[in-house]
Structure 1
């Protein structure tokens, strides 16, 4: 065969493979839902500002409501295809702030624990005999209720029972993380606050679309988990493997640039999974290629180590590990006092910032307001009391059951990726408040859907 024909055939085969790959990606996103994918993009760009940026949060919430209202058939599909346990938990999560907003007779709300100051202030305006809800701040609780619109829309509109949708979910999470990485790099390259979307506490950190460096780091770690899971479910070739490794290294560097100690520590979870995959892949190679791969890996590790040791921006993160003293323990101690005051009914979802100022001790006062408990679990305890405890435990048990079931199916890589990402959120919640951020709240909703997906596909229940 002439050389020119061979070259033409190779080019044609390459184009066919490229077209086939793009068609496959398009089919997966179509199965996932273009509207849902666009909504997640909007949530990332507009939802990273926290409670102080209500207008941008409102756009995300309205987008979630639009998903539910414009495609009402999705609600019917959710009620028919989703596991009953998930439906009950979603309903209970929405009902919690709703019940806290129901007006109560004066004899009832006066008897609730921790309402002494509320009674005194209402008596000053002669309203002590009016009906008031359980929450001590209706506006904050209404805001907390509307914040559920985003994750609710993600869970309800997700296409359960579709393997393509699960793979697309991982791809979208990884793609959003890479977009966050690219925007953060652009911010650092331009310098100053020209491209910062929100006011920040410190310059030179990697923020991307988020107001805080901790949230930024967590999002990149979640994206790394999704990227590794996407690699596991994809057709593995040398080119794809190289690209996945390159993007993974970039995401790791991005996490370090955020200067978030907790996010850097969380890298151990996807890092351990990546190491297991790498060892398994290398051991499957012929002896000669195995040594070449090990040599290349060692060279890459040494190069990465030299970069991290000599780069000034990366060095700032390592320096932060030398000082673990901060105000969190004092905030936690004062939060516990508040929990005891309002136990067992809580003060109302979203009311932490209002009620904590009464509990904050003079010895622990800092320059800025605490605003948050810096521990998601303690904050839920204060705001929702025993009802919040029951809800958190129920969610954890359900997700643990979903993980165990999912790991026994052909969707195991998707389950493992979502489980690791969810574990990152759960661990970060010990020191931060990831679920008080609209962008990461919507991501949490997607992770719940990905973990639930194997429960809705009977033919994939067990690996043959």
Structure 2
């Protein structure tokens, strides 16, 4: 077992196997955001087993870069636990938004029942249990000492696997047995996920990560055949992203493509600047790679557009009752946010609490199980403590990005990549809830961990330069 320790050279060769096993489990079992998906029972049990190597190979020095996100994750879990603690009747009735339930309880003779902050405590308990997946995803690669480029390759592999599975799903049609969940967007290339929006945003992350791996030759030297494989993966992911039918995916995909072009442009300029300053080893022709990649991507996009094979564009134009509901529900969400902004209604309780505020004109055969705006839903369910935790994360991220920009003045493409990653996740969360799916949570935590490790590396490099 010594070979898995992060302070040995063998960790890079063997530690990835453990992370790969975790990735397989979360890919096949963690694609649904629904609390009643039976697969999540097995997933959480399996994820908990991976806490064993995290504890056994724990090293304070290795875990220090991800200390802030780990603490914030623990604070989030602590607030969820507080939300399910029963409160005295008088104290509970003083909480904002409890009047409808208090009135009904009085009619039923249950006015003196102790109740927690959460309107649906079993859902909040479920949300608390779900944190085991992002916790393991964040801590496992760091505890095992994996290189950040290895973790980024996992992101690309997950994205490519989703794209390939999505292609087979399209071939099999809406009745394909390759859809793993009861509630799934059948007829769309969802891959391992149940929601096409979540899948499309994940593909956008994989696109920009593939480009980043190609330009970041200082961290890992890819052989020519490996670069061709990454290029093929990029085209495969792009193709499925275009036909996903997701409007959120179309927007985040365009952000990813713009970021990819900027990555190659900045890398080419930085390489050229290094050549002008003095002789050195020849560098890859990033200008040719950038021009070729952009032209090929535009050609693929133009062909799909010309033949009407980008369903997301048609959905942007045509819309429909369900699509219009995302906008119609905004006033109701705003009212709920104002009501529960202080303590929240309880994580996971949105579906039930929304019934209290649901306007009659929005009653449709389809029901709203999520707010389809994760920023608003976080406020509704988590209240001020959740806002403060999120604000602390944003503050840490902004401070770290500022430090990263100052430390990597000769490699601006790094900052571009990380800004685009967090922008894609943020935009995707405006119109949906990708971070509610365990698979997406794992990918997001991998990226957060890589971001922290990248910052640590740049700090060490800056110290070395100052000593020199």
Residue matched to 1:451: 451
Residue matched to 2:421: 421
The equivalent position to 2:37 in structure 1, one of 54, 61, 71, is: 54
1:217 aligns with 2:200: yes
Moved more, 354-363 or 114-123: 114-123
Closer/same/farther in 2, CA of residues 291 and 121 from structure 1, 3 Å limit = closer
1:79 Cα deviation after fit? 8.9
Residue matched to 2:304: 308
The equivalent position to 1:265 in structure 2, one of 239, 251, 254, is: 251
Residue matched to 2:12: 28
1:396 aligns with 2:394: yes
Closer/same/farther in 2, CA of residues 103 and 291 from structure 1, 3 Å limit = closer
1:99 Cα deviation after fit? 0.9
Q: For 1:86 and 1:299, how far apart are their aligned partners in 2?
A: 39
Q: For 1:373 and 1:361, how far apart are their aligned partners in 2?
A: 14
Q: For 2:81 and 2:158, how far apart are their aligned partners in 1?
A: 32
Residue matched to 1:129: 112
Residue matched to 2:152: 170
Give CA deviations for 1:303-329 in whole Å, capped at 9, x if unaligned. 4245313445x2423322323561112
Closer/same/farther in 2, CA of residues 301 and 463 from structure 1, 3 Å limit = farther
Q: For 1:291 and 1:136, how far apart are their aligned partners in 2?
A: 57
Closer/same/farther in 2, CA of residues 153 and 221 from structure 1, 3 Å limit = same
Residue matched to 1:322: 317
Closer/same/farther in 2, CA of residues 243 and 345 from structure 1, 3 Å limit = same
Equivalent positions of 1:77-96 (< 5 A) are: 77=60, 81-82=64-65, 84-96=67-79
Q: For 2:254 and 2:120, how far apart are their aligned partners in 1?
A: 40
Moved more, 144-153 or 51-60: 51-60
Closer/same/farther in 2, CA of residues 205 and 136 from structure 1, 3 Å limit = same
1:383 aligns with 2:381: yes
* 8 Å CA contact 1:41, 1:176 repeated in 2: no
Closer/same/farther in 2, CA of residues 192 and 431 from structure 1, 3 Å limit = closer
Give CA deviations for 1:166-194 in whole Å, capped at 9, x if unaligned. 01110001011111111111111222322
Residue matched to 1:231: 214
In structure 2, list runs of 5 or more residues that go unmatched.
Answer: 1-8, 276-281
Q: For 2:91 and 2:151, how far apart are their aligned partners in 1?
A: 46
Query: Which entry has the higher C-alpha Rg, 1 or 2?
Result: 1
Residue matched to 2:4: none
* SS in structure 2 at match of 1:451: helix
Moved more, 416-425 or 75-84: 75-84
Residue matched to 2:169: 187
Closer/same/farther in 2, CA of residues 48 and 384 from structure 1, 3 Å limit = same
* SS in structure 1 at match of 2:147: helix
In structure 1, list runs of 5 or more residues that go unmatched.
Answer: 1-24
Q: For 2:239 and 2:156, how far apart are their aligned partners in 1?
A: 15
Moved more, 413-422 or 380-389: 413-422
1:144 Cα deviation after fit? 0.7
* 8 Å CA contact 1:418, 1:450 repeated in 2: no
* SS in structure 2 at match of 1:72: helix
1:42 aligns with 2:25: yes
Give CA deviations for 1:165-222 in whole Å, capped at 9, x if unaligned. 2011100010111111111111112223222222456543211111111011011111
Q: For 2:423 and 2:142, how far apart are their aligned partners in 1?
A: 23
TM-score normalised per structure 2: 0.83
Moved more, 336-345 or 387-396: 336-345
Q: For 1:290 and 1:231, how far apart are their aligned partners in 2?
A: 9
Residue matched to 2:179: 196
Aligned-residue CA RMSD (Å): 3.2
Closer/same/farther in 2, CA of residues 79 and 99 from structure 1, 3 Å limit = farther
Q: For 2:363 and 2:194, how far apart are their aligned partners in 1?
A: 23
* 8 Å CA contact 1:177, 1:223 repeated in 2: yes
TM-score normalised per structure 1: 0.83
